[in-house]
Amino acid sequence: MALVDSHCHLELIDEREPGGAAAAVAEAREEGVASIINIGLGPDNAAVLSRARSLPGVYATVGWHPHEARSPGDADLDQMRALAGSPEVVAVGEIGLDYYWRPGYHEVPAEVQKESFRLMLRLASELDLPVVVHDREAHADCLELIREVPGTRGVMHAFSGDEAFAQACVAAGMRLSIAGPVTYPSAAGLRAAVAAAPVEALLVETDAPFLPPQSHRGKPNRPALVRETARRVAEVKGLSESEFAARCTATAREVFRLA
C-alpha cells in the first residue's frame, strides 16, 4: 500500500524534529510512503532541490509563495527555469493566493500576489509542468487565474473548498490534495466535498510540519502520518484503505510524472 505525500516541507522539519528530514523520510518509507514531494517556496528553491537529490524517494518543486512580499523578477524566473531542468523537479509550486489576513501576518497586497501567480502559471505552461496551488480564502480568484492560462493542470494543495468548488477545480483540470484537516471532527464540509469528488481526482498530503491529523493535533506533522489522512479519506469514499491507496498513488504518479 505505497503512498505519495504530495506536499511536504522537509527544510522546516529539519528545524523541528529530532533527526531532522532524513529521519522523517526514513520513518515514512517504513510506513509505506514511497515518494515525497518537497515543496519550494521561492528563496529556498535551490535548497529544496538539493534535499531531493540527497534523500531516496524525494522529489522537488520550484515556485514563488504568495507570502513573498514582491513578485519574482527576471533573475528569479531564470533561476527557476534552470532548476526545473533537473529530473527531480516535478512541478511549479507552491504558488497561488492567500487572502487570510491579520495584523503582521504576511500582509502582501492582492495585486502583488496575483502578479506572482500569473507569472508562475505562465512559467509552468512554458516548462510543461503541473502546478501546486496554495489557495487560502481566495477560491474564486484562484480559479479565475488558473483559467487564464489554457492547459494548466496540477493540484489544489490542502484543498479547503466546498462541493461546488471541488467540481469547478476538477473541471478546470486540477486535482484535489487532501490534508490532515479532513480528519478533524469539525470538518464535515470538507468531507462532503471529498465524498462528492471523483476518486481519480484525489491525492493526499501532510504539508508537514503543518496540518497534523487528529491524532497528532498540537504536534509537528511528519510524512509518515499521511497514512492517517488516507485512511480517513478511504472511509469517506467507502473504499478499503488498500484500494484508495492504490488509486490516489496512481493519480499522484500521473500528475507529477513520477518514475
Residue keyed to cell 492504490: 246
Number of domains within the chain: 1
pLDDT in tens, 184-207: 999 999 999 999 999 999 999 999
Give pLDDT, residue 187. Answer: 98
Start-to-end CA distance of the chain, whole Å, equals 17
Please answer whether residues 28 and 19 qualify as being in contact, where contact means their C-beta atoms are separated by less than 8 angstroms. no
* Structural contact between residues 49 and 10, judged by C-beta atoms closer than 8 angstroms: no
Q: How many helices (H) and strands (E) does the chain have?
A: 10, 8
Q: Does the pLDDT of residue 1 top 80, yes or no? A: no
Q: What is the pLDDT of residue 181?
A: 98
Expressed as residue numbers, the domain containing 139 is 3-256
Q: What is the CATH number of the domain that holds 12?
A: 3.20.20.140
Distance CA 225, CA 140 (A): 31
- Reply yes or no on whether the pLDDT at 124 is more than 70: yes
Residue 101: predicted pLDDT: 79
pTM for this one?
Answer: 0.96
Q: How far apart are CA 55 and CA 76, in angstroms?
A: 25
SS3 category, 174: strand
What contacts 2, CB < 8 A, 6 or more positions away? Answer: 32, 33, 34, 35, 245, 249
- Residue 247 contacts residue 198 (beta carbons within 8 Å): no
Q: Which residues contact 218 (CB under 8 A, 6 or more apart)?
A: 212
| Arithmetic mean of pLDDT, 144-158 | 98
Q: Please give the Cα distance from 75 to 218 (Å, whole number).
A: 39
Residues 253 and 5 sit within 8 Å (Cβ to Cβ): no
pLDDT digit string (tens) for 6-30? 999 999 997 666 779 999 999 999 9
Gyration radius of the chain's alpha carbons: 17
Write the DSSP string, 138-170: -HHHHHHHHHHSTT--EEEET----HHHHHHHH
CB-CB contact of 33 with 1 (8 Å): no
pLDDT for the residue numbered 111: 97
Residue closest to 94 by CA, chosen among 11, 7, 180, 173: 7
Q: Residue 47 — very low, low, confident or very high, per pLDDT cuts 50/70/90?
A: very high
pLDDT at 75: 97
Average model confidence (pLDDT) for the chain?
Answer: 96
Helix (H) or strand (E) holding 133: strand 131-136
Residue percentage of the chain with pLDDT more than 90: 94
- Quick check: bond before 31 cis, omega within 30? no
What φ, ψ does residue 125 adopt, rounded to 5°?
-65, -45
pLDDT, position 16: 67
